[in-house]
Amino acid sequence: MKHSCAILLTMFLGLSLPTFLNVASADKNNPPVNISYIKKGQSFLGKKYTLYKVYCADGSQRDISLWEEEKKPWCIGENKKKCGINQLDIAALACQS
């Protein structure tokens, strides 16, 4: 039953199961405390994105990006490997990595 609930939640949230499990089990002692706009950019393939800086509770900083016309537009860094539909979930994941 626990696994089916996790699968349903991942479908609802638009996250992959490993990403969901990382967020669910992440250490909550380092949450994001601020998110600031950095710049707009374009990949070499012509995809437009906006870059943001995430400030974490431990003083570290991470980048997240918002990609136009994507089903899972919020990603850690400027690549599209760890992505989701919720900015705060991705910011929390970035602070945990």
DSSP string, 31-72: -EEEEEEEEEEE-TTS-EEEEEEEEETTS-EEEEEEETT-SS
Q: What percent of the chain has pLDDT over 70?
A: 71
Tokens of 47: 């995809």
Q: 95: closest CA among 59, 56, 46, 41? A: 56
- Sequence-distant (6+) residues with CB within 8 A of 25 are none
Question: pLDDT tens, 30-75?
Answer: 999 999 999 999 999 999 999 999 999 999 999 999 999 999 999 9
At residue 5, φ and ψ (nearest 5 deg) are -65, -40
Say if residue 16's pLDDT is above 70. no
pLDDT at 3: 46
pLDDT at 12: 56
